[in-house]
Amino acid sequence: MLSKKTKVKYGEKKKKGKHPKVYIQIYDKWCKRCAICIQFCAHRVLIEDENGFPKAVKPVDCNICGKCVLRCPDFAISIREAKGNKNFGIS
């Protein structure tokens, strides 16, 4: 069994990663399926689903560059960085 000190030590290492945790929200009602966001995504986080809507398949690879948000003509995408465990703040 691990001590509390060891659990904290390994827990802190596990939480730190190369990229921050990201939540990508796509509003289907606003999206007109132009695929501009998919084309500007450098890390291939977004792909087109069977209906033509963008879908975030690898949000872990997102570096929050914001190109998809800036290029979307309908403001149908928002990216949020995880702050702590529960709250998301707009980046």
Q: Where are the domains of the chain?
A: 19-90
| CA atoms in the 13 A half-sphere facing the CB of 62 | 31
What is the average pLDDT across 47-71? 90
Percent of the chain with pLDDT over 70: 68
Residue 53 DSSP label: -
Q: Is the pTM of this model over 0.85?
A: no
Q: Which of 9-13, 31-35, 38-42, 46-50 has the lowest mean pLDDT?
A: 9-13
pLDDT band at 13 (very low <50, low <70, confident <90, very high): very low
- Just give the CATH number of 19-90: 3.30.70.20
Note the pLDDT of residue 4: 54
Torsion of CA 80, 82, 87, 91, to 10 degrees: -40
Q: Is 41 exposed, middle or buried (0-12, 13-18, 19+ CB in 10 A)?
A: buried
**Is the pLDDT reported for residue 89 higher than 50?**
no
Top-confidence residue, 20 or 53: 53
Q: Determine the Cα–Cα distance for residues 82 and 91; give it in Å rounded to an integer.
A: 9
